[in-house]
Structure 1
Amino acid sequence: MPDFRREQQHGGRVAGVDEVGRGPLAGPVVAAAVVFAAGVPDDLASLIDDSKKLKPAVREAIAARLPDVPGVEIGLGAASVGEVDRLNIHHAAHLAMQRAVARLPAMPDHVLVDGNKLPSFGCSAEALVGGDGLSLSIAAASIVAKVVRDRIMARLDVRWPDYGWDGNAGYGTQAHRRALVQVGVTPHHRKTFGTVRRQLELAGAAGQ
């Protein structure tokens, strides 16, 4: 389980940052930054974990509670499908992280990022491989980012129901790939991703 030791070692306002949505075929990359300026209540700390390990209802409950915790600051950022295609997914994810930190009430003293590479934040920062399983701030950020992105994809699913985005969040499930073949590519698909790119090429060849 993640803990708060790294935040306490650095002191000051330490932001945990994580992003969600590197792998999907559709939808934006969403990042969150979370600061526990007054520490983490014990009962909340016992619930927070890497978002991938938590059931959706638990993620929703934690995300709903976080804004009411004294001293908590939350920043959200995203990179659009167009930015993913233009910049590549790696740089788009870093852009989303930078935007999340920039939307905190003030620049943190230090940033902890899940992963092995760091974007520039304008303050000291470090990358932690598996950080969402080590740092409560990063884990909280992973939960917020996951909840927000899932909601975005569920809203897009209302207009584009063939792809199952309310259930697969844009990932390349068998049903999603089948819909790409049968229905085609939407404006929300990442056109530089191999599966989508190949479908566009096939559609273009068929239209010639």
Structure 2
Amino acid sequence: MNLRLLALARGVHDLRSLDAERPGGLPVAVWHGLLTEDRVDLAPFRQPGSDRWRSGSGLPLGPLAALQLHTTNANPLIEGKSHSPLCRHAHERAVVAGDDLLTVADLMARTDFDWCNKCGGHAVRRLTCSQLSYYRAAHRLHDIKRRLDGGTRTPDTDSSTVSARLEELAAWQPVDGEQWCSSDSWQWQDTIRELRHKAGRSHAATGPGAPAS
């Protein structure tokens, strides 16, 4: 029964319409199938900075831009921290009609949230196939950039290894029929071209024919 309810609920655009406070609402297990308490690491999508360990890669949000986040309070003018609807501080009540709905794009555009330290302040709707695939691809690309920016020659920054990985990432496409926005695709490919060039320069600088320091 729970699996059937989960399949039906996944098709609902706004989970607040399912209002967990209504009589006969969804079982808790179904809510845990709709939402995840894991925090989304948005480092690849932040802008580059001077601290290479905290710096982002400026990647486009792509399919993640519309990823939904549910929170008990997204209004900075209302006193009190924001909680995930699954947080014990929110009595693990799941999503109700009065909760706030945000997207990852909203999250990246604002800095005025007062998040709960325990739950992170929101629950993320479980990713679609394309969102999960892109999230993993973006983290792979971000890791390549971070390693190349580090300037240390390792097997992971070998020119042929990096080239092979970048070829795979250059071919990324949505896997469930979603559209890959042309501007996002261009930005993605531009980052890959930049990293190919950087990998080539790094190989030339550290290769057998490089001048001794």
TM-score between the two structures when normalised by the length of structure 2: 0.28
More strand by share: 1
The structure with the larger Rg is: 2
TM-score between the two structures when normalised by the length of structure 1: 0.29
> Relative CO higher for 1 or 2, CA cutoff 8 Å, sep ≥ 6?
1
